[in-house]
């Protein structure tokens, strides 16, 4: 049983896409998978075709108004706990004491039912992302080569170190995943810079697999199907498939 948080405070760099592809890929390989949407934007929920309008979401879960079991929706692609814009109020509404622990506390009763829980986080390092880090065994950091700003990665790393110190001493970084890679604009120099900055600011490996930029991602999301079911043979589906395999090879649990 492993909990993986997908995080980067930068927006639009492929967190949600990676969460969905990893969860779907693990499920296709026979694992029991739960995806958890911890972003008020609810992009994972809508692109997975979950019902985040009429049914309870992670917001009610964090407030302790429902159990995890009551929030889980069993979809063909994977089980999911959805989110919607109500979650934006969580920062203010969660009581101060133990507010970083809420997600962990509420997921505990159902953890035994799954092999992997994959959590999508918002583009911020606030209480929601901290909740994800507090329950996580591992963090995967997607990033694009173009905006691999050292300061952002340092800030993210500092947050992870703080979580390790105060909330969850076992959490580690599984690796950095380059996404939306475009060979026309991203060159070898970019790759070299990324690797150098990695060594300088954060002690984590770069996954060998990188994810190419492709319109297929948006097409699949618009149709609310996972990238493998939509176009299994597309370059980007194959990239994500290779990433899932690379992740599993490194996962010795």
Ligand X SMILES: Nc1ncnc2c1ncn2[C@@H]1O[C@H](COP(=O)(O)OP(=O)(O)OP(=O)(O)O)[C@@H](O)[C@H]1O
Looking at 8-16, 71-79, 158-166, 190-198, which segment touches ligand X (CB under 6 A)? Answer: 8-16
12 forms part of the interface with ligand X (CB under 6 A): yes
Based on the shown chain and the rule CB under 5 A, indicate whether residue 16 belongs to the binding site for Mg ion: yes
Dist CA 53 CA 5 (whole Å): 24
First to last CA, the chain: 8
Nearer to ligand X, 70 or 91 (CB): 91
Of these, 43, 73, 134, 241, which contacts Mg ion (CB under 5 A)? Answer: 43
Name the residue nearer to Mg ion (CB basis): 15 or 180: 15
- Residue 105, class by beta-carbon neighbours within 10 Å (0-12 exposed, 13-18 middle, 19+ buried)? middle
Gap between the Cα atoms of 107 and 119, Å rounded: 12
Give the 3-state secondary structure of residue 111: helix
Both tokens of 30, joined, read 């026979």
Strand (E) or helix (H) holding 178: strand 172-178
Binding test (CB under 5 A) with Mg ion, winner from 4, 8, 14, 15: 15
Residue number, 15 or 212, with CB nearest to Mg ion: 15
State which residue, 44 or 163, has the beta carbon closest to ligand X: 44
Torsion-angle region of 87 (φ positive above 0: left; ψ -120 to 50: alpha; else: beta): alpha
User: For ligand X, which is the closer residue by CB, 165 or 184?
Assistant: 184
Half-sphere exposure of 88 (CA within 13 A, CB side): 6
Min dist CB 171 to ligand X, Å, is 20
Residue 15 near ligand X by CB under 6 A: yes
52 binds ligand X (CB under 6 A): no
- Rounded to the nearest whole angstrom, what is the least distance from the CB of residue 115 to ligand X in the complex? 23
Q: Could you say whether residue 146 binds ligand X (CB under 6 A)? A: no
C-alpha 133/C-alpha 124 separation (Å) is 12
Q: Distance between CA atoms of 105 and 119, rounded to whole angstroms?
A: 15
The answer to whether 92 and 56 are in contact (CB under 8 A) is no
Do 88 and 115 form a contact (C-beta atoms < 8 A)?
Answer: no
Q: Is 126 in the site for ligand X (CB under 6 A)?
A: no
Q: Which does 36 bind (CB under 5 to 8 A by kind): Mg ion, ligand X, none?
A: none
Is residue 221 part of the contact set for ligand X (CB under 6 A)?
A: yes
The answer to whether 186 and 146 are in contact (CB under 8 A) is yes
Closest CB to Mg ion among 108 and 139?
Answer: 139
Which position among 214, 226, 228, 234 is part of the footprint of ligand X (CB under 6 A)? 214
* Closest separation in Å from C-beta 12 to Mg ion: 8
Distance CA 235, CA 239 (A): 6
Residues contributing to the site for ligand X (CB under 6 A): 11-17, 39, 41, 43, 123, 179-180, 211, 213-214, 217-218, 221, 236
Chain contacts with Mg ion (rule: CB under 5 A)? 15-16, 43
């Amino acid at each position: 049983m492993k909990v993986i948080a997908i995080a980067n405070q930068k927006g639009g760099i492929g967190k949600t896409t990676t969460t969905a592809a990893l969860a779907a890929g693990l499920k296709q390989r026979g694992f029991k998978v739960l995806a958890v949407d911890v972003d008020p934007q609810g992009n994972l929920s809508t692109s997975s075709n979950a019902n985040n309008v009429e049914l309870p979401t992670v917001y009610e879960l964090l407030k302790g108004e429902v159990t995890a079991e009551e929030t889980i929706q069993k979809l063909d692609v994977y089980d999911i706990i959805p989110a919607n814009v109500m979650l934006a109020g969580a920062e203010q509404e969660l009581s101060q004491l133990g507010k970083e622990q809420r997600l962990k506390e509420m997921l505990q009763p159902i953890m035994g039912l799954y092999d992997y829980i994959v959590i999508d986080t918002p583009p911020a390092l606030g209480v929601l992302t901290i909740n994800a880090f507090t329950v996580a065994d591992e963090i995967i950091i997607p990033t694009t080569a173009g905006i691999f700003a050292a300061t952002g990665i340092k800030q993210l790393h500092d947050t992870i170190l703080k979580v390790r110190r105060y909330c969850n001493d076992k959490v580690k970084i599984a690796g950095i995943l380059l996404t939306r890679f475009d060979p026309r604009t991203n060159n070898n120099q970019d790759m070299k810079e990324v690797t150098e900055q990695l060594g300088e600011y954060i002690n984590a490996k770069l996954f060998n697999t990188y994810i190419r930029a492709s319109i297929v991602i948006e097409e699949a999301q618009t149709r609310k199907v996972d990238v493998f079911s939509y176009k299994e043979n597309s370059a980007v589906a194959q990239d994500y498939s290779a990433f899932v395999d690379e992740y599993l090879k490194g996962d010795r649990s």
